Structure 1
């Protein structure tokens, strides 16, 4: 299936989904892409017993009309961005619908919570279905905070751990930095200080600053490779600490956090790595989750990014 220059945003009429739509429209404008606004809905099923009990049947046409109103409101909400918008009100499971649409989209955007359980099904306490199964990058816009407003992406941080997935995330982060004309910092966490850290067993005589220096050198090489065909400058930092905690902390000072869908030790078919899940749960800014699925598809051309 060919990839279109389109961003898909899932909406449900909630304030959070309208914020996601604004983020998606702003991103589409940066690259001249189109925007598909989607509301997927399920029609209720009724048993014979419930019909005989006198329960009033919900008008299927009314449900469809409500979904049409949701996408129309979202389209009006983003009209000022001047991007080409298509609205889709479609019967079906919201998660499954967005995963299917992700096969031909550049990006899918959702909010963290919805009014009717839409995004709760995506990113509830026990599920991270869309970022885990999407065929393209997914941006998760966090729950609205009172007094917060949409801001363009000016500062990006990407989590790197040397895995294939994080390399794909770094390449995507370079693309985002080019599209937004934003600064980009790549961070690799080396958990040495805490007793739970993977390198906590190192003897005191080992120069831990030297270890961080070596990791940073390797990260610098990765960053140079990822940004080689662009005008983007990537700053590289190797820090002592837990990756999820560091990225969550960075999220309070940047405008976008980029992570891979699975890191080291990930098992194919598993939902999301623990770092990705934790960042999605605690980030104060939008999070871009980059799947490995499309990067492994040899039939999908890799876009060449240049700073605007």
Structure 2
């Protein structure tokens, strides 16, 4: 791994006051995992953002609840979530519906934050968790961060392969208002297209232009695996070695990834790492 010293560059322009506030949607089911997500949110600054605390539960057996109760609406919970600072607006929303549909209805979300597991009804029915749904096939509809640790993010690992989905991962990282103070490593895995090096260099240059103070990069060779390359095991090994606070991946990839199931790399990172993971919006 090598260090890249950034050249002094001006900060990106401040968005116009007429621009809508970026929206962070927090899927809150009241579980211990949700408590960790909320503490993670609190341990980062979100100046100018709007934070929607979304809680949903299936209605009881009986007559239909009607659209007013089945769609997200403001509510006052007995124990509201509160921020340590006042740099973001917080609202609480509730609906009597499938939690997955409630979060999906937040179509303007700039980021969705959830825990890796909860005690929701879908887990009890063995039908797949809300988290599984959010990062499943043809998803995410918005960038999703699966939070496993409440600590503030200091070290980020960005995985890139030169695909449009990897570019979306870089953009999702840029959209985080606190990323400039992080150390960001760019990881590329050599594959049959031999374009990984260019993709890594391009990502490093964009990070420098964005104002990230410390950037490193690393290109590693994938483990040969019959007609394809097993990039999953290579990426997981690199993550374990580097121990980042946050890993950023695209929803799916190209090159050596084409021989694998669509989305399998993102799924492997989400399911088999101990750190938090940001999965970019599917393009």
Q: Give TM-score scaled by structure 2 length.
A: 0.71
More helix by proportion, 1 or 2?
1
Q: Deviations over 1:220-274 (max 9, x none)?
A: 13431x336411253221112343334434156111000111212789xxx9600
Q: Please, which runs of 5 or more residues in structure 2 have no aligned partner? A: 1-18, 64-74, 223-229
Aligned residue for 1:108, secondary structure, equals strand
The runs of 5 or more residues in structure 1 that have no matched partner are 48-67, 143-148, 192-197, 200-210, 294-308
C-alpha RMSD over aligned residues: 3.5
CA distance in 2, matches of 1:94, 1:277: 21
Mapped pair 1:138 → 2:144: yes
- Aligned-pair CA distance for 1:154: 0.4
Contact 2:251–2:263 (Cα < 8 Å) also in 1: yes
The correspondence for 2:99, drawn from 94, 99, 117, is: 94
**8 Å contact from structure 2 (residues 47, 177) kept in 1:** no
Report the count of equivalent residues.
Answer: 239
Structure 1 residue 111: deviation in Å? 0.5
- Say which of 232, 245, 250 aligns to 1:244: 232
Is 1:275 matched up with 2:265?
yes
Partner SS state of residue 95, structure 2 = strand
Q: CA contact under 8 A between 2:122 and 2:128: conserved in structure 1?
A: no
1:47-66 alpha-carbon deviations (Å, 9 max, x no partner): 9xxxxxxxxxxxxxxxxxxx
State whether structure 2 residue 164 is matched by structure 1 residue 160.
no
Alpha-carbon distance in structure 2 between the residues aligned to 1:237 and 1:100:
38
SS of equivalent residue, structure 2 residue 201: helix
1:285 shift after superposition: 1.1
Residue 25 of structure 2 corresponds to 8
1:221 aligns with 2:237: no
Is 1:223–1:236's contact at 8 Å kept on the other side of the alignment?
Answer: yes
Contact 1:18 1:74 in 2 (8 A): no
TM-score between both structures, scaled by the size of structure 1: 0.66
Does residue 43 of the first structure (1) align with residue 59 of the second (2)? yes
Q: Distance in 2 between matches of 1:106 and 1:126?
A: 18
Indicate the residue corresponding to 1:231 in structure 2.
211
**Cα distance, 1:18 vs structure 2:** 1.2
Q: For the residues of structure 2 that align with 1:215 and 1:98, how far apart are their CA atoms?
A: 35
Structure index of larger Rg: 1
Match of 2:66 in 1: none
The 1:91–1:126 alpha-carbon spacing in structure 2 relative to 1, beyond 3 Å, is closer
